[in-house]
Structure 1
Amino acid sequence: MGLNAKSAAWTLRFFPARHATTSAGANDQDILGADQGPRRYRARIATAPVLDRDRLQESTGTLQSWRFHDFVTTFQLMLPHRVEKVHRALTVGDWEDARLAAQSLSWSASIAGACQLQLMADLIDADLQSGRNARARETACLLQGAATELATALALLTAD
């Protein structure tokens, strides 16, 4: 099994906790930094779009393509499971499983153009990585609401 450098670079750019910058300009201080860091990052989550239609179509094709509908259907089917997996791992205190679940949610959300959900999952991962488990649990409480908003946006998009 090989690693495609192009896909790895694409994947890694969505982890602001591990990289100096991301496409949106966040840095480590925004997530893990001083007292104002997490607040700024949470403000960025609040202003991020629920669904970036352009990113979704870039990943999956046009609204009329079978690939688009197949991806959206599968994503919507798996979304509650992914969110629940993060919650379950945080509830039992399995921090490594919670990090993996948050990363999985972040990756799939990035492909789907689910900006808020992706940022929340990234923040949970970064908080767990730095030992801020209580803060990760607080952020996880917001996941269900973001997932519901996203499901509504996807339903409206596919209804067009």
Structure 2
Amino acid sequence: MMDLDEIDLKLLQALSQDATLSAGALGRRFGLSQPAAWRRIKRLWSEGALSHRRLVLDHEALGFGVTVFLGVKLATKGRVSLEDFERAVTAIPEVQTVEHILGVYDYRLRIVARDISDFERVLRRRIMALPGVGDVEANVLLSEERLPGPLGGAGAK
């Protein structure tokens, strides 16, 4: 585990909300020079606290008005069936995330679709045709709030 001070936590929180912030802007916000802020950010990258920059698409604005979380229980378990399922499911463009989980279901998928009938098409023609698929359970997303995560309260005083 990394040793993070209050400034590191503030930098991580700010970057998790807006990864486009410059070292200069972050330095001004937290009382650092631009080079000092850059050194800290570079260290956070090199030590693995930061690993990706992602662009978040507005699915609804792009015509995908329905998000469904699908629990998938594989009918047959084993290393080969897991790998086959993962390889096949990641090739489906409507599947946004694939999470291998512990519990009643083996996987949790986040799927976007234009509407419910489009989701039904994806479910019937793509998901249910995947190798090893047994039981599924769909939960339609009604609303979503982005929570700050474990660093949300840290350094926000």
TM (norm. structure 2) is 0.25
Greater percentage in strand: 2
Identify, as 1 or 2, the structure richer in helix: 1
Q: TM-score, normalised by structure 1?
A: 0.25
